[in-house]
Chains A and B, each alone.
Chain A
Amino acid sequence: MTGIDVDYVGRALLRREDRRLLTGAGQFVADLELSRMLHVAFVRSPLAHGRIRTVDLRAAAAAPGVVLALNGADLLRLVPPAPDAQLSLPSKWTAAVQHDFLNPQQPLLAHDKVRFVGEPLAVIVADSRYAAEDAAELANVELDPLPAVVDAAGALAAGAPILHEHFGTNRIGHFTITKGDVAASLAAAPHRLRRRFVHHRYAAMPMECRGVVAAYDARSDAMTIWSATQVVHWLRREAAHVLQMPEARVRCIALDVGGGFGVKGHVYPEDLLIPFLARRLGRPVRWIEDRHEHLLCSAHSRDQVHDVEIGFDDDGHILALDDAFTADSGAWNTLGAGIAYNTAVHLPGPYKIANYSSSATIAVTNKVPNSAYRGAGRPEAAFVMERLVDLVAAELKLEPAEIRRRNMIRADEMPYHAGLLYRDGEPIVYDSGDYPEALEKALDAVGGLVAFRRHQAEERQRGRYVGLGIGCYVEGTGVGPFEGATVRLDPGGKIYVASGACPQGQGMETVFAQIVADQWRVSPDDVVLALADTAAIAMGFGTIASRSTVTLSAAIHHASGKLRDKVFAVAANMLECAPADLELRDSSVGIVGVPGAAVSLAKIAAAARPGWDHSRPSGVDAGLEETHYWEPPTVTWSYAVHVAIVDVDPDLGRVSVARYAVAHDCGTVVNPLLLDGQIAGGTAQGLGGVLLEELVYDESGQLLTGSLMDYLVPTASDVPEIAMIHLAAPSPLNPLGVKGVGEGGAVAPPAAIANAVGDALAPFGIEINRTPIRPEELVAAIRAARSR
């Protein structure tokens, strides 16, 4: 045997992507060089809120090298307003969930008002970026300043300045979900706690900023857009709409993309404006976002304030939870209710809570629009729930781990009906897993609770403050509506697979080659993948929301099944047997139990071609290609328990993460090496979020963290070694049994670290109910406690 019958799924194959990226031969959008290409710079608003009086571009337009200068008013005359950029909600959801939404849509360039610092006012196209930036500085911008609102509470206060006047309110979204009788069960609860939890604003911050290049071909009236995006088909749809072109004439490609994590997961105005300029000018046009722009105009995330009341009994059983929160959407709404709704339904986490209500209010503010970032509303939810569990434990003087054990859904209670609806409109059913086992394994991985408590007591004797914190979550992954795969038997016998999934470093070229190899009993080297290109498949959804491994593996499975039937029909004709007697083996199809009686996939491909001398049986049409668009029944539920041990310096407020463990379950593991990489990377982002990263605005709406010197991305010295424990309860909801894992790492660290710091500082009675954990605030709180 050649080893081809071995299952590739489950093996730590090294990545196919690496060689080009290691040698400088990768191609990111900024690397694209096209003949006669022009370069773009934007004139951006210096004010958070103001009415536009003039954006005079006469001097800019006359500057050396400038080809075109347009302001918002100019553009409005040339292009109809942009279409709805939001993810749609299924009618099952809109019928069942009490909600009301307004939908302010960001124009390609601001034309009446500016609503955040950095909002684009004008675009300059020139023969170099240097010339474009020089010209942008010559723009004469006059704005009438308006007072700014910089947080949701301010935006919702009576008399607040209104961002979108035609709505008459800054409250652009509201919904409530509920199960059980929250008021009655809270009233009857032996214990109640009320707290406010604040999860601050931070962002994905991929190392590659965004960028768009567009080229228009007049002969064929066709547009090609290269964008550093996670959603090529979504971009094609919107670009076709704005350009008023058939989708078939618009091609969107994502080249190598230098990280996404959600911030590249929706369509931005620049994605649409650059193609428009390319068509108007008849030359390729390129805009590469710089880091300052990225901080000022690419989506931020998180930024929620929760007011919660929890009721529980003497043993720590949670009886009821009542949550009301605000989400600061920034000036525009990118994803509708998606993030806030994620927060609401994920908040109960792995616990049995019979009576639960969450009420969300989404407010617009004079800040950068808020969108998805790894976790997309779940880190905020986990922070609230996991802090509450620790507060219950403190109130009852019990171990936080024990409160979790008493409330967690057990393995024998799976599948568990949560009594809420997911955003796909389906009832939430946790499909599989063992949450208590994950908890015990994560605790064991840091040396066990008993040993830690002994160590902690000894350290306190020496005036040192160490703490252990737990963060648990469950996560709906692999969300619909669909992903597709086209599977084709290439004439050379290789398996070609195309899909709208878009990688940004996950290693999809490797992972899907493994999956396809097993489907077809070929080597992964014989799998040809076409991803992130709308020319490769008619419809696609893209890579957001921990969905691609789940949805695309299923689409590949079903498309392969259909194609296999046809391949077997042709092979049976060639081998003069029945299709039922055939099996796939070693890049060929052979008769079961008859070694040597086989025909190669390459020969079958040739036999199935249209034309003379084919070997198809009658009734089988030509060609070997099948497409399947897989529509998941609903999401499949991943989960994890993170445990952190921290060391808090009481004089400097410095939090050092001494140990960190993650016990998680993402079902069938396709590639353990790449899986570990996803978890480690996500966890590092979560740790950065809670300890280092913060987007700070002053009261006038100026972003104070406009560079990476102010916005602190964790370095190699800031991130600890992360221990990982894999549980693998296969999902019953898809053929491969996989669950999504892309986001999970970033969900629990804020909760785990806050709980660990709170545990370390328990002698001072300090609660960590807001992020980020700032050293100066810890020092002040410790001083205040000591002087009491």
Chain B
Amino acid sequence: MSSPVEVRMIVNGTPRAGRCEPRKLLIDFLREELGLTGTHAGCEHGVCGACTILVDGVAARSCLMFAVQADGATLTTVEGLADGDELHPLQQAFHRHHALQCGFCTPGMLIAALDFLATNPEPSEAEIRDALSAVLCRCTGYQNIVKAVADAAEKMRAAGGAS
């Protein structure tokens, strides 16, 4: 154990700061110091993906990082997806397609999908399944998640084309 250090980051567009031990996991920092409990810890060993967030625009397991490693980084968590009351197209598609049941994996699933669609805006079903294999869901059997991501991709392409 060593004494707490200052950590600063931009989370969902807002500068945030806190103090924590250097060993504090990023997920614990987000949840306990910043009160962002939307990101969930499902395994704490980097397999289940429930804790997935964007770190400088790239999906990362927040259970496999120390908070100090994210010092100075820009983070996006599930709380940052919606635009005010307007849900993100991925959130809307998950709702429309019943792509969540208990909702525990959903934040990680949404962020993983967001990261994936940023690199592959027009994916095939197999590509979606491959990408989403980074996050475990125990409730849905995945098929509605796959449909939701495909649908959101289409809507996001249409919106991107219109703008």
Q: Which residues of A contact B (CB under 8 A)?
A: 14-15, 17-28, 30-31, 33, 64, 130, 134, 204-209, 256-259, 261, 290-292, 504-507, 673-674, 676-677, 680-685, 707-709, 713, 715-719, 721-722, 745
Contact = CB atoms under 8 A, between A and B. Distances in A.
Residue from A24, A673, A677, A715 having most chain B Cβ neighbours under 10 A: A24
A207 B137 contact: yes
Interface in B97-146: 98, 100-107, 110, 128-130, 132-133, 136-146
Contacts of A20: 103
B117 to A, nearest CB: 15
B103 A256 contact: yes
Contact of B95 (A22, A24, A717, A718): A22
Contacts of B159: none
A24 B129 contact: no
A27 B35 CA distance: 12
A218 to B, nearest CB: 27
14 contacts: A22-B87, A30-B40, A207-B105, A207-B137, A259-B101, A259-B138, A261-B138, A292-B45, A505-B102, A680-B140, A685-B138, A707-B43, A709-B47, A715-B133
B39 A257 contact: no
Given A24-B79, A134-B1, A258-B103, A208 B42 contact: yes
A676 B143 CA distance: 10
A28 B104 contact: yes
Nearest to B128: A716
Contact of B133 (A507, A676, A717, A722): A717
B54 to A, nearest CB: 14
Given A207-B104, A681-B141, A715-B136, A23 B129 contact: no
B21 A130 contact: yes
Contacts of A208: 40, 42, 102, 104
Interface string B61-83: 00000000000000001110110
A505 B24 CA distance: 31
A717 B41 CA distance: 22
Given A33-B35, A64-B1, A504-B102, A18 B40 contact: no
Given A206-B102, A717-B130, 19 more contacts: A14-B96, A21-B103, A23-B81, A23-B82, A206-B138, A208-B40, A259-B102, A259-B139, A290-B41, A504-B102, A673-B98, A674-B98, A677-B101, A684-B141, A707-B45, A708-B45, A716-B133, A717-B129, A717-B133
B52 interface: no
Contact of B31 (A22, A31, A256): A31
Residue from A18, A28, A507, A722 having most chain B Cβ neighbours under 10 A: A18
A22 B94 contact: yes
Contacts of B42: 207-209, 258, 291
A677 B144 contact: yes
Contacts of B107: 24
A716 B95 CA distance: 18
Contacts of B140: 677, 680-681, 684
B138 A291 contact: no
Nearest to A12: B98
Contacts of A707: 43, 45, 47
Contacts of A673: 98
Contacts of B100: 18, 21-22, 505
7 A-B pairs with the lowest CB-CB distances in the bound complex, closest first: A24-B38, A21-B103, A258-B104, A505-B102, A680-B141, A684-B141, A505-B101
B141 A291 contact: no
Contacts of A15: 95, 98
Residue from A258, A504, A717 having most chain B Cβ neighbours under 10 A: A258
Contact of B23 (A27, A130, A505, A507): A130
A130 B24 contact: yes
A19 B129 CA distance: 24
B132 A716 contact: yes
Nearest to A32: B37
Contacts of A680: 140-144
Nearest to A295: B43
Contacts of B133: 715-718
A708 B136 contact: yes
Contacts of B38: 23-26
B139 A505 contact: yes
Contacts of A683: 141
B42 to A, nearest CB: 5
B137 to A, nearest CB: 7
B138 A681 contact: yes
B95 A14 contact: yes
B50 interface: yes
A291 B104 contact: no
B145 A677 contact: no
Given A19-B95, A22-B94, A722-B141, A716 B47 contact: no
Contacts of A709: 45, 47
B105 A719 contact: no
A405 to B, nearest CB: 29
Contacts of A505: 100-104, 139
B103 A716 contact: no
A265 to B, nearest CB: 14
A14 B70 CA distance: 37
Nearest to B100: A21
Contacts of A209: 42
A18 B94 contact: yes
A322 to B, nearest CB: 36
Given A21-B100, A206-B138, A716 B145 contact: yes
Residue from A685, A716, A722 having most chain B Cβ neighbours under 10 A: A716
Nearest to A258: B104
Contacts of B145: 716
A22 B103 contact: yes
A717 B140 CA distance: 13
Contacts of A718: 133
Nearest to B147: A721
Contacts of B137: 207, 716
A31 B37 contact: yes
Interface string B1-38: 10000000000000000000101100000010001111
Contacts of B91: 22-23
A20 B136 CA distance: 20
Given A207-B50, A674-B98, A24 B45 contact: no
A475 B143 CA distance: 25
Nearest to A206: B138
A26 B103 contact: yes
Given A22-B110, A716-B128, A716-B142, A258 B40 contact: yes
Contacts of B95: 14-15, 18-19, 22
Contacts of B103: 17-18, 20-22, 26, 256, 258, 505
Nearest to A673: B98
A185 B81 CA distance: 67
Given A684-B142, A717-B130, A207 B36 contact: no
B67 to A, nearest CB: 12
